Amino acid sequence: MQKQKILIVGSGGGREHAIGWKLAQSPNAGEIFFASGNAGTAKMGTNLEIKADDITSLIEFAKKESINLTLATSDNVLASGVVDEFKKVGLKIWGPTKAASQIEWSKTFSKDFMRRHNLPTAKFETFNDYGQAKKYIANHSLPIVIKADGLAFGKGVVICQSQKEAEKTLEDIMVKKIFGDSGNEVVIEEFLIGPEISIHALSDGKSYKIFPSSQDHKRIGDGDKGLNTGGMGVIGPLPFVSKEMMERIEKEIVAPALKGMSDDGTPFEGILYPSLMLTADGPKIIEFNARFGDPECQVYMRLLDSDLLEIINACVDKKLEKVEIEWKNVFACNIALASGGYPGNYEKGRLISGIDKAGLEQEIVVFHAGTTIKDGKTVTNGGRVLGVSATGNTLEKTLGKAYKAIEKISFEGMQYRKDIGKKALSLKKQR
Ligand code: AMP
Ligand code: GLY
């Protein structure tokens, strides 16, 4: 087989670096291009100047360079309809269509989908009228969860501890439009209690393969304190999720959700990533994502034993049924190193030292996220800067290795969570 030229269109974060890193290990992988990229992807391929949402230029580039396979990997890229446009002109692309990825980019669509197909989720109502929404929260039990309909940079979910806070949140979203048009509609829902986990299933629209379970740590501070972030650290597979629980999740959530998408005329091709709460009443869906989680992806790329390029090609060709996906019999973690001030304001351009040294440690791979090259040096260029990933035979050892490697890395203001995986290690197996 001729080597394939690959284009990765996404947010240029740790997820994209990890996908590129894994694809590059395939004997059939040729040159890899990134729109956009970071200092890590620049070392393994070519970072393009083209913006990830500039579909016309991307198509022009893919045609000119005879790209064999494009991967669309981030939520805003999928919502822009890049997959549909590439397909229209006969270019091979991996990812869900705009209509299928609506399951992520519209929370009201997603919740209505769950109701229509009887999928377990928090009780909810949707509103496009501010007055009616306000009336509804007056009689709602606390805490009240309010979600803006559209994409809001991961900030569109507010958990309100009082009626007053809920009223203010509603006004901010629906009247003051702090998230713009994403706040034209809201979902108001019941608060769920239980450990939160990430499930990923790869589907070609006909069949699917479910990945091992994983868990992100979304808050900035230890003990799940402070503001929500894009994700500060992931572990997987989860020792507290039993085989029986995974079977239940597959039967009650993954299989009916994918069938529902097909039945609705929008078969799902790509990664369907529901985040779930394992409540006392069983697993319930918090939300659906239509892509790999970031940093969940970094953990999956470390755990995956099979050839990713072969799997993606099989998925695009709708032959997923024919491939076996093999996973390494280890645990993996990925710990984010973030800029000081993140998820609020932070400085860029801080010199980073020790990445190569950390990467020399056993079973350590350092994935770049918000980094760039300036005057030949690697500097910070975003909120989440690096992800230090490790693998090992036990979760404790894996985390220990990652934290030891982190000691080698430094940049001014660097912050990270010291308790990744701690809660998971203390949980009993859930059935
Ligand atoms: P999101 O920005 O959509 O990823 O949601 C942010 C976080 O809010 C989730 O990761 C959950 O921890 C939390 N969350 C969302 N919906 C609920 C709910 N109904 N009950 C409890 N927590 C929730
Ligand atoms: N890890 C959270 C996300 O990708 O949405």
149 lines ligand 2 (CB under 6 A): no
Among 81-85, 119-123, 181-185, 363-367, the minimum mean pLDDT is found in: 181-185
pLDDT score, position 154: 67
Q: What pLDDT shows up at residue 428?
A: 77
Which of 105, 107, 151, 159 has the most ligand 1 atoms within 8 A of CB, as the residue to mutate? 159
265: pLDDT strictly greater than 70: yes
Residue 212 near ligand 2, beta carbon < 6 Å: no
Q: What is the mean pLDDT of the chain?
A: 96
Q: How far apart are CA 76 and CA 326, in angstroms?
A: 30
The Cα 331–Cα 420 span in angstroms is 13
Report the pLDDT value the prediction gives residue 217, as an integer from 0 to 100: 98
The first and second tokens of residue 99, run together, are: 């209509």
Asked whether the bond before 237 is cis by omega within 30 degrees of 0, the reply is yes
Mean pLDDT to the nearest integer, 95-121: 95
User: What pLDDT was estimated at residue 182?
Assistant: 87
Domain ranges for the chain: 4-95, 129-184, 196-429
Pocket of ligand 1 (CB under 6 A): 122, 145, 154, 157, 159, 189, 191-192, 196, 218, 228, 275, 286-287
Run of H or E including 246: helix 243-249
Angle subtended at Cα 113 by Cα 107 and Cα 150, rounded to the nearest 5 degrees: 15
The strand pair at 4-9 and 29-35 is best described as parallel
287 close to ligand 2 (CB < 6 Angstrom):
no
Q: In 71-89, which positions are buried (b, 16+ CB within 10 angstroms) versus exposed (e)? A: bbbbbebbbbbbbbbbeee
Could you give the CA distance from residue 314 to residue 139 in angstroms, rounded to a whole number?
A: 51
pLDDT tens readout for residues 25-73: 999 999 999 999 999 999 999 999 999 989 999 999 999 999 999 999 9
Residue 353 has pLDDT above 80, yes or no: yes
Question: 129-184 — its CATH code?
Answer: 3.30.1490
| Ligand 2 atom 4 nearest Cα | 293
286-296: per-residue pLDDT in tens? 999 999 999 99
CATH number of 4-95: 3.40.50.20
Q: Is residue 231 within 6 Å of ligand 2 at its C-beta? A: yes
Model confidence at 249, in pLDDT bands (50, 70, 90)?
A: very high
The rounded Å distance from CA 234 to ligand 2 centre is 10
CA of 300 to the centre of ligand 1 (A): 22
So what's the pLDDT on residue 387?
Answer: 98
Contact by Cβ (8 Å): 404, 362 = no
CB pairs under 8 A, 24+ apart, for 84-88? 85/55, 85/59, 86/58, 86/59, 86/62
135-186 pLDDT per residue, tens: 999 989 999 999 998 877 667 889 999 999 999 999 999 999 999 998 899 9
Residue 149 pLDDT: 87
Q: What is the mean pLDDT of the segment spanning 1-27?
A: 96
CB 96 within 8 A of CB 83: yes
Q: What is the pLDDT of residues 176-214, one digit of tens each?
A: 999 999 889 999 999 999 999 999 999 999 999 999 999
Q: 379-402, pLDDT tens digit by residue? A: 999 999 999 999 999 999 999 999
Is 90 exceeded by the pLDDT of residue 415?
Answer: yes
Q: Is the CB of 334 under 6 A from ligand 2?
A: no
Ligand nearest to the CA of 231: 2
Record the tokens describing residue 418, joined without a space. 């010291």
Q: Is 296 in the pocket of ligand 2 (CB under 6 A)?
A: yes
Q: Please write the tens of the pLDDT for every residue from 72-102.
A: 999 999 999 999 999 999 999 999 999 999 9
- For residue 334, what are the β-bridge partners? 234, 389
CATH code: domain 196-429 is 3.30.470.20
- pTM over 0.75, yes/no: yes
Nearest ligand 1 atom, CA 275: 10
CA distances from 101 to 75, 158, 174, 208, 339 (A): 8, 23, 24, 16, 30
Atom from ligand 2 closest to the CA of residue 296: 1
List for the chain the helix, strand, coil content (%; round to 5). 35, 30, 40
